[in-house]
Amino acid sequence: MWHDDQVPTAAANGIELTYETFGDPAAETVLLIMGLGAQLTGWDDGFCALLVARGYHVVRFDNRDIGMSTWIDTPGLDVPTAVLAALGGDASVAPYLLADMAKDVVGLLDHLDVERAHVVGASMGGMIAQTVAINHPTRVRTLTSIMSTTGESTVGAASPDLLPQLLGERPEGRAESIDFLVNTVRAISCPEHFDEERARARAMVDFERGLNPLGVPRQLLAILCSGSRADDLSTLDLPALVIHGRQDRLVDFSGGQRTAELVAGADFLAIDDMAHDLPSVHWTRITDAIAALATRVA
């Protein structure tokens, strides 16, 4: 794992989170939470810049077990056995849950002295964002859940043909790892907007920052063992936005539909030519929607 003394870290919930900020710290904060196996680089500099241009202080960070944040030590964890047990309903096999990752977020807000933030999450990050809103409602101004789902088994399922790429053994060499990351992004992206050059550049940065071979399965266990948020989502009382691409094959479009259905008054932005990605062609549309939601809070 690459360490850079110039990159700030926060002691949060018993671990260290690496984070970056953009814009005026005195402005309202938009906190960006990335998804399964994704580093803070998943929120492109250009995407962050658009939010800053709209007057916000933007924070992005590496979740636990990913990139330059703390990697959780789980000696003796047999991942295939644990996943099977999780699918069978045994939640005890997960080293941590989405609720723990939500506490990480609150710890980061504490470190930054941010009382309430506009919380934006993509994919697993959306699940974490939902959990922050459920468990720590006083810390959330608005909730934006992008290409995510509710935890119910009946919605948001991945296309089975994606699973070998996503769950296969990850290579260790630099060139092989970068190719693997690029191929993974290609598999889940909208073909019309997939940018191989951009995907390869990010993969190179991510390799240097640190690829944790057990981070992805441990985060997957957190998702599997955290169960449904449906009942809790139906009790939320805050401005909310759900964004989902109709071509998403990793988290089916039904996951976004169901999230918007459960959260009272939630806006739902469906994007025809988006899959499980954030292509630059949609950045303005998405950041406009986030900013419009934020203005609804007094």
Q: At 298, is the pLDDT very low, low, confident or very high (cuts 50, 70, 90)?
A: low
Q: Is the pLDDT of residue 2 over 60?
A: no
Q: At 1, is the pLDDT very low, low, confident or very high (cuts 50, 70, 90)?
A: very low
Cα dihedral 149, 151, 156, 158 in deg (nearest 10): 120
Looking at per-residue pLDDT, the higher value among 298 and 68 belongs to: 68
Which of 49-63, 100-114, 206-220, 265-279 is least confident? 206-220
Mean pLDDT (the chain, rounded): 95
The conformational region for residue 8 under phi > 0 = left, psi -120 to 50 = alpha, else beta, is beta
Q: Is the pLDDT of residue 4 over 70?
A: no
pLDDT of the residue at 191: 97
Report, as an integer, the average pLDDT of 93-117. Answer: 98
pLDDT of the residue at 3: 43
CATH homologous superfamily of domain 9-158+213-294?
Alpha/Beta hydrolase fold, catalytic domain (3.40.50.1820)
Q: At 67, is the pLDDT very low, low, confident or very high (cuts 50, 70, 90)?
A: very high
Tokens (6 digits) for 262: 């459960």
Q: At 52, is the pLDDT very low, low, confident or very high (cuts 50, 70, 90)?
A: very high
pLDDT of the residue at 5: 55
Q: At 86, is the pLDDT very low, low, confident or very high (cuts 50, 70, 90)?
A: very high
Q: Within a 10 A sphere around the Cβ of 137, how many other Cβ atoms?
A: 14
Task: Name the residue type at position 188.
Answer: I
Report, as an integer, the average pLDDT of 139-156. Answer: 98
pLDDT of the residue at 6: 73
Tokens (6 digits) for 284: 């303005």
Report, as an integer, the average pLDDT of 37-46. Answer: 97
How far, rounded to the nearest angstrom, does the alpha carbon of residue 184 sit from its chain's CA centroid? Answer: 16
Could you read off the pLDDT of 249-282 as tens digits, one per residue?
999 999 999 999 999 999 999 999 999 999 999 9
